[in-house]
Amino acid sequence: MTYKRFSQKDPAEVLQYSFDFSKIITTAAETISSQTWTITPIHPGVDAAASDMILVGQASINGKICSQFIQLGVSGVNYLVSCQIVTNEAQTIKLVGVLPVLTFS
């Protein structure tokens, strides 16, 4: 599996992150019916609770692009951010990315 690498995020920032499913969903008739976002802390660093990185508000779907605002996080921890979709043709597809969190000086 190939992971998307997001740019570093400061814990104080609230930023929107997106996954583009257009290279996987190639027909115009197939659309995204639902999406589920998850965040999991991964090496290096320690985050006692993944809730330290929080999804903000409702995720959105624009065509074949899914987006979600994310806030907080623990400086020095990388997070695995995933978006799993289900399409109107019953496909289940998951894309993942690594989001490094680091306090900017």
> CB pairs under 8 A, 24+ apart, for 23-27?
24/93, 25/64, 25/87, 25/91, 25/93
Structural domain that includes position 71: 4-100
105 within some domain? no
Closest CA to 37 of 7, 71, 10, 63: 71
Residue 89 lies in a domain: yes
Structure tokens at 10: 């400061």
Where residue 48 falls among pLDDT bands split at 50, 70, 90?
Answer: low
Q: Quick check: is 30 in a domain? A: yes
74 occurs within a structural domain: yes
- pLDDT tens digits, 6-31: 999 999 999 999 999 999 999 999 99
Would the pTM count as exceeding 0.85? yes
Q: What is the CATH number of the domain that holds 81?
A: 2.60.40
Q: How many domains does the chain have?
A: 1
Interior/surface letters 27-53, b for 16+ CB within 10 angstroms, e for the rest: eeebebeebebebebeeebebeeeebb
| Residue 54 scores a pLDDT above 70 | yes
17: tokens are 């992150």
Question: Mean pLDDT over all residues of the chain?
Answer: 91
Compute the distance between CA of residue 87 and CA of residue 35 in angstroms, rounded to an integer. Answer: 9
The reply to whether 31 falls in a domain is yes
Whether 52 is covered by a domain: the verdict is yes
User: Where is pLDDT greater, at 52 or 3?
Assistant: 3
